[in-house]
Structure 1
Amino acid sequence: MSLLVVGATGTLGRQVVRRALDEGHSVRCLVRSPRKAAFLREWGADLVKADLCQAQTLPFALEGITTVIDASTHRPTDPGNIWTMDWDGKVALIQAAQQAGVEHFIFFSILGADQYPKVPLMDVKACTEQFLRESGLNYTVLALGGFLQGLIGQYAIPILEKQTVWVTGEATPIAYMNTQDIAKFAVRSATTPATRNHCFPVVGNKAWDGYEIIGLCERLSGQDAKIARLPIETLRIARKVANFFEWGWNLSDRLAFSEVLASGQPLAADMAPVYETFGLDPKDMTTLEAYFDEYFGRMMRKLKKLGYDKEDKKRKMNF
């Protein structure tokens, strides 16, 4: 099977590439900068330079491809706004896939995207899902909650460095999942006919709110967290101010997502039927507890060694 992975250098995309290669698939990566994506070539993937915002570059990237796995998304540092890549770019990619005779298009969305039409990131995902369903392509939509990887910078590092951890609104519980495990679902869907033309939630086994995650970090690190609560009204005001200036539109779009995080409505789903359809075992998935236990164990060993090295250096200097 010949796979084209879009967004291959991202947190999730690189895990999809790694998993697909490990399972013996032929993998091509659509990248804007081959130099920055050189590590993917070292893994064994082919690279093709193209840009979703330049539709004329897409046909060549899709030649001979049977399945597209789209893990791309607009980043704050990218030109344009969310709609430039996550709508215009996705429409161009889907249309190019149609013309190229692609057999299967796998798209990553967000759980409950259709419930928040006033949140740009959610609305554009919901619109893309609808466009894909109406395209005539065989598709699979994987609706995600959040990544375990993102929690390190949000909670673990600030607690270790004795910095303030900010919690927004009602601290919405989210069923976070390891991107390595999400990649298993993406690659498995490429070879599982029963997943075609369906949307599946792909989330962790338990929904955690911010305070629960902070408590876990405190227990594993042995340190007390400095917690500050950020009122949702403050974020709403900040969004209005940012939206007033063209340079702040990207920031405004992302601040709007805080409405979802402060809603108190869990981003979670029953995964039992999903595991059955994909033929995967939930016991093989990484839990948040295990992920943080491994991270803090590694970091505490480093800190302990660093402390030992400092003491050893002092002794040598005094001697």
Structure 2
Amino acid sequence: MADEKPVLVVGATGYLGGQVVDALLQRGKSVRALVRTKSDAGRLEAKGVEIVRGDMLDVASLIHAMTGVAGAISTAAGYTRNDKNANAIDTFGNSNLAVAAKQTGVPRFVLISILTCDLTPQVPHFWHKKQAEDAFEQLGVPFVALRPGAFFDQTAGMGGDPLAKRRVMWIGSKDTPLTFVLTSDLAGYLADAVEADVADGERIDIGWTRPVSMTEAAGLLSKHGEADAKDIKIMAVPTPVLKGLGKVTSRFAPLVSDMASMSAWFETGRYVANTSRQAEVFGPPPSPEDAIARFAAGFGH
């Protein structure tokens, strides 16, 4: 039987948010989703999710959505939308979430953040997460922030099955080790964090047992293809090229410039998680071999 008080998910119609909803339902939780007025909530409603219409830029709608919840999880990110409200969502929107959570007394707010966000003021969407964490802390909202590494499945799976195409896309150096995660694993951690035994204000790095370069990851992925198949190629866009594109591409300049800054940070070798707290709270982190095998299995390999 589902818990009486729902857990609110902000960003439930997104790729990560949808998997968080599923993870909560699998754990027997009632789920409420904040959905924008014009967004299609049919799939969520079919799963028995309570729909509340609102927007991160409308504090009143957030207060309404958070009233009476057992906890809240935000996976929303304006950066991935790259529209006119992207920056406002990642700044004012996250501050509004903190204000609404404070006013409604949310028992715990689980915030999706980014690994090393506190070290990277030069990467806008990383720094916005750090500022969001600060907003919750300054208002005294009981929260926990999960700081995952790069989403391997979204990168390697861009455009379809990488084992069928024999290639993956990447930005910057393909030989610098960094931390990756799988979206499905992160969704489970976010769902568990609502009731996890953690202190208010904890920031928890999320990743695999060790960092891997895209070259190593592609090699591990190649092992799950046909025996006589060629190795997977890495189609990498160099950081200087991204920086150049950011200067000449008008419509997408902020996004491309942000990606260039992120790529440059990856190349420092400092985008690496300390997963000791992750192991204590959520259990042993997956190895790259295990995670990549599960990713390949998702495509039938």
| Cα distance in 2, alignment partners of residues 166 and 275 from structure 1 | 28
Please name the residue that 1:291 is paired with: 294
Please name the residue that 2:57 is paired with: 53
Task: Using the TM superposition, give the Cα deviation of residue 155 of structure 1 relative to its aligned residue in structure 2, in angstroms.
Answer: 8.9
Please name the residue that 1:135 is paired with: 139
8 Å CA contact 1:19, 1:184 repeated in 2 = yes
Task: Using the TM superposition, give the Cα deviation of residue 165 of structure 1 relative to its aligned residue in structure 2, in angstroms.
Answer: 4.4
Alignment of 1:223-262 (within 5 A): 223-242=230-249, 245=250, 248-262=253-267
Task: Using the TM superposition, give the Cα deviation of residue 191 of structure 1 relative to its aligned residue in structure 2, in angstroms.
Answer: 1.4
Q: Which runs of 5+ in 1 are unaligned?
A: 300-319
| Cα distance in 2, alignment partners of residues 74 and 86 from structure 1 | 5
Task: Using the TM superposition, give the Cα deviation of residue 46 of structure 1 relative to its aligned residue in structure 2, in angstroms.
Answer: 0.6
Please name the residue that 2:103 is paired with: 99
Alignment of 1:1-319 (within 5 A): 1-33=5-37, 36-80=40-84, 82-154=86-158, 157-158=161-162, 160-162=164-166, 165-166=169-170, 168-169=172-173, 171-221=175-225, 222-242=229-249, 245=250, 248-271=253-276, 273-278=277-282, 280-282=283-285, 287-295=290-298, 298=300
Give TM-score, length-normalised by structure 2: 0.86
| Cα distance in 2, alignment partners of residues 130 and 240 from structure 1 | 31
8 Å CA contact 1:129, 1:141 repeated in 2 = yes
| Cα distance in 2, alignment partners of residues 24 and 292 from structure 1 | 26
Q: What amino acid is the match of 1:223?
A: K
* 1:176-222, Cα deviation, whole Å (9 max, x unpaired): 22222222222222113434321111212232211112222333222
Task: Using the TM superposition, give the Cα deviation of residue 228 of structure 1 relative to its aligned residue in structure 2, in angstroms.
Answer: 4.7
Task: Using the TM superposition, give the Cα deviation of residue 13 of structure 1 relative to its aligned residue in structure 2, in angstroms.
Answer: 1.1
Task: Using the TM superposition, give the Cα deviation of residue 145 of structure 1 relative to its aligned residue in structure 2, in angstroms.
Answer: 0.5
Q: What amino acid is the match of 2:60?
A: Q
Larger radius of gyration: 1
| Cα distance in 2, alignment partners of residues 255 and 34 from structure 1 | 32
8 Å CA contact 1:82, 1:120 repeated in 2 = no
* 1:110-144, Cα deviation, whole Å (9 max, x unpaired): 11101111110111111111111111111101111
8 Å CA contact 2:6, 2:29 repeated in 1 = yes
Percent identity, aligned pairs only?
Answer: 28
Aligned partner of residue 113 in structure 2, secondary structure = strand
8 Å CA contact 2:117, 2:126 repeated in 1 = yes
Evaluate the alpha carbon distance shift between residue 176 and residue 70 of structure 1 in structure 2; reply closer, same or farther with a 3 A threshold.
same
Q: How many residues align?
A: 294
Alignment RMSD: 2.8
Q: What amino acid is the match of 1:5?
A: V
Evaluate the alpha carbon distance shift between residue 98 and residue 201 of structure 1 in structure 2; reply closer, same or farther with a 3 A threshold.
same
Aligned partner of residue 198 in structure 2, secondary structure = helix
| Cα distance in 1, alignment partners of residues 288 and 211 from structure 2 | 15
| Cα distance in 1, alignment partners of residues 150 and 22 from structure 2 | 20
User: For structure 1, which segment, 148-157 or 37-46, has the greater mean C-alpha deviation from structure 2 after superposition?
Assistant: 148-157
Q: Which structure dedicates a bigger proportion of its chain to helix?
A: 1
8 Å CA contact 1:141, 1:199 repeated in 2 = yes
| Cα distance in 1, alignment partners of residues 232 and 94 from structure 2 | 41
Aligned partner of residue 185 in structure 1, secondary structure = helix
Task: Using the TM superposition, give the Cα deviation of residue 168 of structure 1 relative to its aligned residue in structure 2, in angstroms.
Answer: 1.7
8 Å CA contact 2:209, 2:286 repeated in 1 = no
Aligned partner of residue 142 in structure 1, secondary structure = strand
| Cα distance in 2, alignment partners of residues 121 and 64 from structure 1 | 31
